[in-house]
Structure 1
Amino acid sequence: MKAPDITFVDTAGRPIPKADTGYTGAGAGFGGQMRRWNPRPQTADAALLPSLRAGNARAEDLVRNHGLASNGVQLHVDNVVGHLFRLSYKPRWRMLGISEADARAFSNDVEAAFTEYAEDPINCWVDAERKRTLTMMVREVVATHSTVGEATGTAEWIEGRPGALFNTAIKLVNTHRICNPNNKADSQTLRGGVEVDRFGAARRYWVRGTATNGYGLSNGLGDSWTAVDRETSWGRQQFLHVFEPRGDGQTRGANQFLSVMEQLPQLGKLQQTKLQNAIVNAMYAAVIESELGSEAAMEIIGGGIEHKALTNYMATLADWHEGADIRLNGVKIPHLMPGEQLKFTTSSNADNGFSELETSIIRWIAAGLNVPYEALAKDYSRTTYSSARASMMEGWRYYMGRRKIIASRWASMVFALWLEEALDSGIIRLPRTATRTFWEAKASWCNAEWIGSGRLAIDGLKEVKESILLIESGLSTYEKELAKMGEDYQEIFAQQVREMAERRDAGLPPPSWVKALALAPDQEEPEVAPATA
């Protein structure tokens, strides 16, 4: 026999709801508003790969056609890379058995040779298409990653290029071309165009060919696929793929626009609607209202009578208004027909809370793209020095993470490919005292830092003082502080030596940084930024 259900009631006879146990976020929520929110637990690939094409296509469309989306990508490019992405080569000399002095001399030779190859603005040997320098390539990689969450390319070996000392070149690959051959379904070993081993490590990439016919009508993709191994049998990298995985077994990158994909198009529609409303309201300064009865109006507009009656009626009104030429100080005042009324209109372009709504949406978008609101919206009207610096520093920390994980990693892979060829061809030679070869300690020989754009200085005087105090107190170095400004300390020091020698030869006194600092007193920070017109 089934046991009867037992219901507990309060003093008024109302059923007492069962109390949620554990975390309230996993319960029904206040008032039960979370009962219908039951997302499925999924792996990273299960959540991403089925909607990868649609999500990336939408993100690219937003970047092409939406100002905020385009600016969000440009902020990544300018802050992560900047105008020059320069190599700061740092071989791990202790692990390689060479002295620090030998490492510095070797570093100078390698930096000079690599910069000549990578930043050649005329020949662009580093690019298989010969359109980009390394800096241009890394800027494109960061822009692509900011849009679709990943960047891909192949390492090519191109012989017979007149004037080229090296055969290594990089071919950037559109991420849409990385897909399963013949669009077959994903499997345990083939997911999103990537063949993986039992641990989830990429072994091979399937690259779809391109089709030049039908541009404007097709997607530009062909019907053939080429398999590209991740690396050769001796370990030389053949396919470059950078993204930041966020889950176990994730095969492809997820773009940042997915979290704000709904808000961005709606914001554009909201702005366009508001603009159209303002234009329409501004077009009419006055209207004439008529007290014409509804029955008469229906008859005039065609309620059983020919439309010619409406034309005759409007012509009569026009003749009446034209004949009543009454003016006041040169301004014509119409003499209206009986039952008519002149009504002046205003533009009605009141804000009605639009600015606050727009700001709220843009802040949401800035949070989703991990960029400062002020920079994304180009709005500094309500910003003080402290709040602007806090916002920019928060953004700077994020950009430095992106520089290390995306831009520097891509550049380091290109550098490793070049260094291998340079050593193999004899153009660069390892120090004689080295105890480990390139292949025995590839990571140590290819260790490098990359200097990109400098940190934005909101108040240059205060931030220079901060750098001086950090150096003088032993909490930082000239190398780190100048890297924040996007400069190489060795180049700065060498230039200072040359300038001081020239000043001495010209009979000028040496520069005094202490006196310069004394001439720049502290400035009080305004509590509120001045209002803008």
Structure 2
Amino acid sequence: MTVKLDKESEELLGTHTADNPPVVDGFRVPATTGRELAIAGDAYEGASRFSTELGSYQPATRSADQDIAPAKRLADARSRDLTRNDAYIRGGVTLRKDNIVGSYFMLNAQPNSFQLFGKEDAKWEEEFQEEVEEKFAAYVESPRNWLDASGHSTLTQMVRMAIEQHTVHGEVLASVEWLRAGRRPFHTAIQMIDVDRLSTPPEQSGNPNIVMGVELGPVWHEPVAYHFRKAHPSDWSTPNSFQWRRQPKELPWGRLQMIHLFEQFRPAQTRGIGTMITAIPEMKMSRQFRDVVLQNAIVNATYAATIESDSFDASTIFAQLGGTDFPPEKVMEAMMAMSKGYYEMVASTVGKSKNLQIGGVKIPWLPPGSKLNLQGAGQGGPLGTDFESSLHRAMATAFGVSYEQWSKDYSKTNYSSYKGAMTETYKAMASIKKAVADTFASWVYRLWLEEALNQGQITSIRRNMPSWYEGQNEEWYSDCDWVGASRGQVDEVKETEAAILRIDNGLSDLKTENARLGRDWRKGLRQMKREMEWKEFYGVMQEEKMKEAASTTAAKKDAKK
């Protein structure tokens, strides 16, 4: 039986017919191309197999998961160790958290009334925003830490932790829990999970659909469940460390159960890898460099002078400088045998100069071949030089911040260059904020809002409004953005004038400009209104008091007359 192939299949199999003739020789790659390349050279020098510099540079060709899996545990351990023990790395991680989250991560609810009702309802949006923001903040920022399943952190603290986990490990992992114990106002809670616990159970090691603890769908390889230890692998005394828990990503009706955030650099990438990994060699060398230089400075500060001698051993030199740990007989014997002629020459030439002193410190004449080196106490090494600066620039680049912010060195920076550096840092931090901090907090808000609506806690939702579970209503109800850290101002006058110009010319608004300063524009306007009312009232009171005082003064004057 003859099977007729389509033209594409015939071309792939090398089968040619009258309808599908072979390609003209001028357009085909000759069979001897490999041998000719050895003579003529490669078209791309970066991919050359014969370059002296790159000939031995043959990176492996692997999938994203095959690249990450063997390196993940050691990369995370090294990143954590540097974060714990290096002041600059610790400062860099804190800098990221301070630039993205700040001291309070504030919800700015943005419900979409047009998509929900078919028309815009600004009044309802305002009512919904104010009620939801106040009730959400009261729950997630309560000092009772209702949101944290372990009872340690508020939402702001959890978001700061998420930024640190993303910086060090390249991913954030948390489970959504439903807690009923106690007098909790809501049952929704979040449990942060150490990424070291996310791993494949031993009995599932042969399952191709479970990759580094993440269970994937058989067709599209989307995450469907997560397998993680009930305790950290290093907690040997805890029996739970040898037990795994399987948590589905979603419940049957779509409620999220696992939050797993990471930046995907390649298709089919299942786990994240920290950005610190690219600069670990520089980070480690920088710390060793500083340690050696500081040790050298301590040694140099310990000794006022050192002696180099080709003629005497250490014990003889020590005795000659006044040491008392050696018997005088041995000192005299060595000196008489080797230095008698030298001292006679010194006596006849310079006389009493052997008693020469520098700053009250006696400097003796030494035998031939000996040198006295004075050591400055401040002689420490090249800390702060271009070499160390180059290491810090590499680390600052890995963290996405400017060199000035990383090193805290502003001595060579003017206003314009610093503003440019801040702008670059802001763009990098804004992308991380959107991908990690905003996404994590938005999931928390959406999970809480679903429960609050089902409990009837949101009074601005009227009875006949669209259901949360219909179509994309979940998106329209829970749409929001987040106000994090203030961008700060280098020159407050210039930057305030620029903000006013942007608002006046329609390039910005009060919400955006207040968000730059880490403030809520609605609360700011309310406070301004209160202050204006108080000033008006206070002005009236002051005016009445002034009139009363004036009439009293006039009455006194009349009485004197």
Corresponding residue number in structure 2 for 1:423:
453
Q: Distance in 1 between matches of 2:283 and 2:206?
A: 31
Q: Unpaired runs of 5+ in structure 1?
A: 9-15, 302-309, 510-533
Task: For residues 276-335 of structure 1, give each alpha carbon's deviation from its aligned partner in whole angstroms, at most 9, with x where no partner exists.
Answer: 122212222124555636xxx59989xxxxxxxx94369747xx9xxx996869825255
Residues 383-532 of structure 1 aligned to structure 2 (within 5 Å): 383-429=413-459, 431-432=461-462, 435-440=465-470, 441-507=473-539
In the alignment, structure 1 residue 346 sits paired with structure 2 residue 375? yes
Q: Secondary structure at the match of 2:432?
A: helix
Q: Secondary structure at the match of 1:42?
A: coil
Q: Secondary structure at the match of 1:156?
A: strand
Give the superposition deviation at 1:249. Answer: 1.3
In the alignment, structure 1 residue 225 sits paired with structure 2 residue 244? yes
Q: Secondary structure at the match of 2:40?
A: coil
Q: Secondary structure at the match of 1:360?
A: helix
Asked if the contact 1:325–1:332 (Cα under 8 Å) also holds between the matched residues in 2, the reply is no
Asked if the contact 1:325–1:333 (Cα under 8 Å) also holds between the matched residues in 2, the reply is no
Task: For residues 323-370 of structure 1, give each alpha carbon's deviation from its aligned partner in whole angstroms, at most 9, with x where no partner exists.
Answer: x99686982525557659672412382756971100011101111221
Q: Which TM-score applies when normalising by structure 1? A: 0.82
Distance 1:328 1:430, change over 3 A: closer
Q: Distance in 1 between matches of 2:326 and 2:240?
A: 58
Give the superposition deviation at 1:483. Answer: 0.7
Task: For residues 136-173 of structure 1, give each alpha carbon's deviation from its aligned partner in whole angstroms, at most 9, with x where no partner exists.
Answer: 111111111111011111111111312x2111111111
Give the superposition deviation at 1:250. Answer: 1.1
Task: For residues 246-290 of structure 1, give each alpha carbon's deviation from its aligned partner in whole angstroms, at most 9, with x where no partner exists.
Answer: 211111111001111111111111111111122212222124555
Q: Distance in 2 between matches of 1:183 and 1:486?
A: 50
Residues 201-350 of structure 1 aligned to structure 2 (within 5 Å): 201-210=222-231, 222-288=241-307, 292=311, 311-312=326-327, 316=331, 331-333=360-362, 335-336=364-365, 343-347=372-376, 349=379
Distance 1:255 1:287, change over 3 A: closer
> How large is the RMSD of aligned CA atoms in angstroms?
3.4
Higher mean C-alpha displacement, 273-282 vs 133-142: 273-282
Q: Distance in 2 between matches of 1:329 and 1:47?
A: 65
Q: Distance in 2 between matches of 1:68 and 1:134?
A: 27
Q: Distance in 1 between matches of 2:79 and 2:172?
A: 14
Give the superposition deviation at 1:90. Answer: 0.6
Corresponding residue number in structure 2 for 1:118:
140
Q: Distance in 2 between matches of 1:299 and 1:109?
A: 85
Q: Which has the larger radius of gyration?
A: 2
Q: Distance in 1 between matches of 2:375 and 2:329?
A: 25
Q: Unpaired runs of 5+ in structure 2?
A: 1-31, 318-324, 336-352, 542-561
Q: Secondary structure at the match of 1:262?
A: helix
Q: Which TM-score applies when normalising by structure 2? A: 0.78
User: Which residue identity lines up with residue 25 of structure 1 in the other structure?
Assistant: G
Q: Distance in 2 between matches of 1:368 and 1:458?
A: 25
Distance 1:160 1:278, change over 3 A: closer
Q: Distance in 2 between matches of 1:459 and 1:106?
A: 37
User: Which residue identity lines up with residue 261 of structure 1 in the other structure?
Assistant: I
Asked if the contact 1:56–1:148 (Cα under 8 Å) also holds between the matched residues in 2, the reply is yes
Question: Which is richer in helix?
Answer: 2
Q: Distance in 2 between matches of 1:265 and 1:24?
A: 32
In the alignment, structure 1 residue 366 sits paired with structure 2 residue 387? no
Q: Percent identity?
A: 30
Asked if the contact 2:293–2:382 (Cα under 8 Å) also holds between the matched residues in 1, the reply is no
Q: Distance in 2 between matches of 1:178 and 1:185?
A: 13
Corresponding residue number in structure 2 for 1:103:
125
In the alignment, structure 1 residue 161 sits paired with structure 2 residue 182? yes
Report the count of equivalent residues.
480
Distance 1:289 1:444, change over 3 A: closer
Residues 376-387 of structure 1 aligned to structure 2 (within 5 Å): 376-387=406-417
Q: Which residue of 380, 385, 404 corresponds with 1:355?
A: 385
Q: Which residue of 96, 101, 105 corresponds with 1:81?
A: 101
Higher mean C-alpha displacement, 253-262 vs 185-194: 185-194
Give the superposition deviation at 1:182. Answer: 2.3
Q: Distance in 2 between matches of 1:88 and 1:43?
A: 40
Distance 1:290 1:261, change over 3 A: closer
Corresponding residue number in structure 2 for 1:143:
164
Distance 1:344 1:25, change over 3 A: closer
Q: Distance in 1 between matches of 2:494 and 2:127?
A: 36
Q: Secondary structure at the match of 2:226?
A: strand
Asked if the contact 1:423–1:430 (Cα under 8 Å) also holds between the matched residues in 2, the reply is no
Corresponding residue number in structure 2 for 1:152:
173
Q: Distance in 1 between matches of 2:112 and 2:467?
A: 13
Asked if the contact 1:286–1:342 (Cα under 8 Å) also holds between the matched residues in 2, the reply is no
- Deviation >3 Å, runs of 4+: 183-188, 217-221, 287-293, 297-301, 310-317, 324-330, 334-342, 350-354
